[in-house]
Amino acid sequence: MQIFKNDCYLKAAFRKKVNKTPIWIMRQSGRYLPEYQNIKKKAGDFLSLCLNVELASQATLLPINLFSLDAAILFSDILIVPYAMGMNLTFLNDFGPCFLNPIKSRFDMEKLIVPHPEEHMNYVLKIIKIVCHEISYKIPLIGFSGSPWTLACYMIEGNAKKNFSKIKKMLYENPKDLHFLLKKLTDSVILYLNAQINAGVSAIVIFDTWGGILNRKKYKKFSLFYIQKIIKQLSLIKNEYKIPVTVFTKNANAWLKDIVSSGCDVIALDWSVDIQKALKKVGKYVALQGNMDPHVLYAEENYIQKETDLILSRFGFREGHIFSLGHGILPDTDPKKVKFLVDSVHQLSQKYHQKIY
């Protein structure tokens, strides 16, 4: 593990001894923060913010300056990869990401390039370097990408607001073309994540948000297979330090043992999973991340504290837990509740790390 002033996130990812349970949160820099809204306003829109090195760096640093989080995460979006491949990406208010030229044929797939990160996504690498300089080994910086399957869902559907009928139709009618796209995405993600590691990130997350729309057989063939290929080809040793990899597949409770086979170090759980049962299934193989329901942050502080301690107690007196929400922070969450959660995790978790040794 690299040497950081606060290295409990990395230690927990490798199931090493820590003095408190670390916490970071998906979308920890987002619409719930007034300061983020000001940064986004300067950029003009979300995509412009992702492409703006200075402002995206500020967005990355914002939550770790506001809260005692144990890791920063690169401010970007998973759809930067298909955007760099040649897809026409836009973000619509109150609707989310859309591709104006969704993939309809093999010809559309063949037009896509496998982007070279230093050329086509250099702004991301610049953001990483700026943030690493600013945090100066105080806490680790997490890099990330979407999984090939999840990226393909957006690219074929055009958005994620439907029933995924287009990509499922392709899966059953023309699986060879779908595999062609997934292979091209896999090659792109491998290059992209290795470039992030070279630029300075100390951990990787692969977001497989839509893996859970598949049954187990199709999940293993169309999603997990490509995640395995990515992890195998990542440069996970840097300056003699190992880079931990987290895999997050939403609605994949029944496939946790399958996900272990990906070679990941951490499995992130959505809020529908009983963390104690997950621990019994896979806890001797990987660390676990999660998994409070984001809606709990609407509650009063005493309820948030009870739910926090419940999750910590369900995991118990063991190492290998990274506290997080079971998905991203909701846009209308009170930032004070986020601070309360972070502080509560640090305070309440200490007792679970004092009686092990």
Q: Is 31 annotated as a binding residue?
A: yes
d(CA 69, CA 354): 21
Q: Is 77 annotated as a binding residue?
A: yes
Q: Helices 34-43 and 53-66 sit at what angle, rounded to 10 degrees?
A: 180
Q: Is 90 annotated as a binding residue?
A: no
d(CA 320, CA 264): 13
Contacts of 39 (CB under 8 A, 6+ apart): 49, 55, 58, 59, 62
CA 8 from centroid of its chain's CA atoms: 18
Q: Is 136 annotated as a binding residue?
A: no
DSSP helix, strand, coil percent of the chain (3-state; round to 5): 50, 10, 35
d(CA 60, CA 73): 6
Q: Is 30 annotated as a binding residue?
A: yes
The DSSP output letter for 223 is I
Q: Is 290 annotated as a binding residue?
A: no
Q: Report the candidate in 270, 227, 234 with the shortest Cα–Cα distance to residue 250.
A: 270
d(CA 259, CA 288): 12
Q: Is 150 annotated as a binding residue?
A: no
User: Which residue numbers belong to the known binding site?
Assistant: 27-31, 77, 154, 209, 327
User: Which residue numbers belong to the known binding site for substrate?
Assistant: 27-31, 77, 154, 209, 327
